Chain A
């Protein structure tokens, strides 16, 4: 005999009230990162040198630029989901948890925006 209300069971959100949303997002982004991560490593190894001219020319190529943007975006997304769980696990105080969570989330978004902007600047700058 379940103590859960029928509507609670139908919504399937469980005790945390959020369902599997967070868990699922973590998996989806991880699959994407397997692909993007392997691409990045192999691309890095295929570069003869990491000097300024070669690296910026490589980043400016449309496919590379788009994959890099996806890599940065998916990485920060996956990372903030992961760090969130670590914070939830180890920080008990509600106030501290909230503050640390805000700092971590803001930092992730700022880092992601910075990275993506840098890639786009190189990509769009190269054509001009």
Chain B
């Protein structure tokens, strides 16, 4: 404890670095991951409802039709697509490629805009099929 005053401890990067959109995208990967963990509860609820019979499933369908849950599904679907696309970005980084500043920024934009487009595209398809949720 006393050594802290004599030798200042190093600070975490987030305390000393300028805020940039690339680190926002990085944090968003974690946030969407956690969102998917929460959203997974709904997925399992859907499975269990289907396994519990027609009545329980009807209750679940009413639950999923609720505006708040519907909004949550939009959020979870974005989280799904972002975590997926940005996850692939991370996998590419793990091979040692795309880590230069310029390419990391470009792939960041691609990941973010790409996942927004995928989310919108997904719900347009859902609306046209008249199926999901």
Contact = CB atoms under 8 A, between A and B. Distances in A.
Contacts of A117: 51
Nearest to B87: A30
Contacts of B129: 45, 47-48
Contacts of A70: none
Interface residues of A, number: 35
B58 interface: yes
B125 A118 contact: no
Given A59-B50, A86-B30, A115-B47, A49 B91 contact: no
Nearest to B57: A52
B131 A50 contact: yes
B91 A30 contact: yes
Given A27-B94, A34-B87, A119-B47, A111 B40 contact: yes
A125 B17 CA distance: 57
Nearest to B44: A115
Contacts of A34: 84, 87-88
Interface string A107-128: 0000100110111011001000
Interface string A41-70: 100110111101001100100000000100
Interface string B18-59: 000000000000100110110011011001101110100110
Interface of B: 30, 33-34, 36-37, 40-41, 43-44, 47-48, 50-52, 54, 57-58, 61, 80, 84, 87-88, 90-91, 94, 122, 125-126, 129-133
Given A45-B132, A47-B131, A114-B48, 18 more contacts: A34-B88, A41-B122, A50-B133, A52-B58, A55-B57, A68-B47, A75-B36, A79-B33, A82-B37, A86-B34, A111-B40, A111-B44, A114-B44, A114-B47, A115-B44, A115-B47, A121-B51, A122-B51
A99 to B, nearest CB: 18
Nearest to B81: A41
Interface of A: 27, 30-31, 33-34, 37-38, 41, 44-45, 47-50, 52, 55-56, 59, 68, 72, 75-76, 79, 82-83, 86, 111, 114-115, 117-119, 121-122, 125
A64 to B, nearest CB: 12
Nearest to A30: B87
A50 B56 CA distance: 14
